[in-house]
């Protein structure tokens, strides 16, 4: 019964939507909905509430789970964004029924408190405006390398077995979106990915044994990098799944490189990788990079396909569908040895000019 009660977050959402909850009088509160959270922008701060949802990789359906998640998010993101992440706060219900922060009554829910930043400083927004430069991305490459060097080693994760599970999980999710993504590309991708894993398995296991599997960011896309105090800052890392965050450091970096490549900024991807390798010479792992890039593109393909299905706007749904198909074809192309592969990579990527 308690778990069911925790699914209803309407009281907490109403409380967080009110300016008076933050001591504001004339200002308004902006709400931003994401896949797993609701973010309330109030004054100079952002308050992040975990949705009471359950997916294969996470379960936020109990108050206890959300409490653990907000504390984990704070601790893990302090590694890379100490200027952004401030605290966690409890939403309490008082004896008279009022809600308040850090009250004496029982906890109703929990939020992560962050400093608010200019959304124009998000790297995905900067990429769309053509504001990303080679110099800036070299700084990011060095920053990610420094983060990886100091990250906790996680020898119980990673290796060929873990990547095999990623392939299986991706195939399952891709097939659920086959009507949009196409059965042929999905089938070809699965065959190519398994062949690559057979070839690269010993390398992946050796890198795990050498300490190259660490507690990483896990979702290192342009959307999770921002400018803060004039410097690139990594934020919003994965806190809910060790399988997703405890990975080969080059697999972590691959998400960012894939994101740049699929925005037709291979030059910036090269600048990022070169700066990364200058800081931490991971040359032995570079042969696995095409597989890593392909896995990241496949993951984004089904995520975008699912997002397209949720959109009420037909125009927005169509835009996301094209972008999903583009990622699916790119996932195949990253692994294709020749132009005569089962899927013609050039034909697949013809959608790139219309993906945005």
> CATH no. for residue 12?
3.30.200
Q: Are residues 93 and 129 in the same domain?
A: no
pLDDT digits (tens, 9 = 90+) for 123-160: 999 999 999 999 999 999 999 999 999 999 999 999 99
Do 208 and 347 lie in one domain? The reply is yes
pLDDT at 343 over 50: no
Nearest to 33 by CA among 319, 312, 252, 328: 312
What's the pLDDT at 26?
86
Considering only residues 308 and 161, tell me which one the structure prediction assigns the higher pLDDT: 161
Termini Cα distance of the chain: 45
Mean pLDDT of the chain: 91
How large is the average pLDDT for residues 166-190? 95
| pLDDT band with cut points at 50, 70 and 90 for residue 348 | very low
d(CA 356, CA 353): 7
Number of domains, the chain: 2
Q: Which residue among 64, 83, 116 closes a domain?
A: 116
pLDDT at residue 7, as a whole number: 65
Convert the pLDDT of each residue in 73-121 to its tens digit.
999 999 999 999 999 999 999 999 999 999 999 999 999 999 999 999 9
> Do residues 255 and 310 both lie within one domain?
yes
Q: Beta strand pairing status for 99-101 and 85-93?
A: antiparallel
Q: Which of 96, 116, 136 is the last residue of a domain?
A: 116
- 27 sits in the region (left: phi over 0; alpha: psi -120 to 50; else beta) called beta
Residues 151 and 192 in one domain: yes
Of the candidates 116, 141, 175, which is a domain's last residue? 116
Using the predicted structure, report yes or no on whether residue 1 has a pLDDT greater than 70: no
Tell me: do 159 and 83 sit in the same domain.
no
Binning pLDDT at 50, 70 and 90, where does residue 66 land? very high
Q: Are residues 25 and 75 in the same domain?
A: yes
Listed in sequence order, the residues at least 6 apart from 188 whose beta carbon sits closer than 8 Å to its beta carbon are 332, 341, 342, 343
Structure-token pair, residue 66: 């959300």
| pLDDT reported for residue 337 | 56
Shared-domain flag, residues 92 and 135: no
- How is 158-176 classified by DSSP, letter by letter? -HHHHHHHHHHHHHHHHHH
Range of the domain at 6: 2-116
Q: What average pLDDT does this structure show over 202-217? A: 98
| 142, 275 Cβ separation under 8 angstroms | yes
Given this model, what pLDDT does residue 57 score? Answer: 79
Tens of pLDDT along 70-86? 999 999 999 999 999 99
Where would I find the beta strands (DSSP E) of 84-123? 85-93, 99-101, 107-115
Residue 309: pLDDT band (50, 70, 90) is confident
**Statement to judge: residues 311 and 273 lie in one domain:** yes
Residues 130 and 112 in one domain: no
Query: Which pLDDT belongs to residue 34?
Result: 83
Chain position carrying tokens 């902006």: 30
Could you tell me if 190 and 299 lie in one domain? yes
The predicted pLDDT at position 346 comes to 44
What percent of the chain stands above pLDDT 90?
85
**CATH number for the domain that contains residue 219:** 3.90.1200.10
Both 29 and 133 in one domain: the answer is no
Same domain as 280, residue 179: yes
pTM of the model: 0.90
């Amino acid at each position: 019964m308690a778990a069911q009660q925790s699914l209803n977050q309407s009281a907490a959402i109403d409380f967080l939507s009110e300016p008076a909850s933050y001591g504001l009088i004339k200002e308004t509160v902006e709400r931003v909905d994401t896949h797993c959270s609701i973010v309330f922008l109030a004054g100079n701060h952002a308050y992040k509430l975990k949705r009471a949802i359950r997916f294969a990789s996470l379960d936020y359906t109990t108050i206890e789970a959300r409490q653990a998640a907000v504390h984990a998010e704070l601790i893990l993101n302090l590694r890379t964004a100490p200027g952004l992440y401030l605290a966690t706060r409890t939403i309490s219900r008082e004896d008279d029924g009022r809600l308040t922060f850090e009250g004496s009554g029982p906890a109703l829910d929990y939020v992560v408190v962050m400093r608010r930043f200019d959304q124009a400083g998000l790297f995905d927004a900067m990429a769309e405006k053509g504001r990303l430069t080679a110099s800036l991305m070299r700084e990011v490459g060095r920053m990610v390398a420094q983060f990886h060097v100091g990250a906790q080693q996680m020898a119980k994760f990673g290796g060929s077995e873990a990547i095999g599970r990623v392939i299986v999980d991706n195939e399952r999710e891709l097939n659920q979106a086959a009507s949009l993504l196409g059965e042929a590309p999905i089938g070809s991708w699965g065959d190519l990915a398994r062949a690559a894993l057979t070839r690269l398995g010993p390398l992946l296991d050796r890198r795990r044994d050498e300490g190259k599997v660490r507690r990483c960011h896990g979702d290192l896309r342009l959307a999770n990098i921002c400018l803060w105090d004039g410097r690139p800052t990594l934020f919003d890392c994965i806190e809910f799944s060790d399988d997703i965050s405890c990975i080969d450091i080059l697999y972590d970096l691959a998400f960012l490189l894939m994101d740049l490549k699929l925005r037709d900024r291979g030059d910036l991807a090269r600048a990022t990788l070169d700066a990364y390798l200058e800081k931490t010479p991971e040359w032995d792992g570079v042969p696995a990079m095409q597989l890593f890039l392909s896995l990241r593109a496949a993951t984004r393909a089904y995520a975008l396909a699912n997002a397209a299905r949720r959109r009420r706007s037909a125009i927005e749904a169509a835009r996301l569908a094209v972008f999903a198909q583009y990622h699916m074809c790119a996932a195949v192309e990253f692994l294709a040895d020749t132009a005569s592969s089962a899927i013609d990579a050039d034909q697949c990527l013809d959608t790139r000019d219309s993906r945005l």
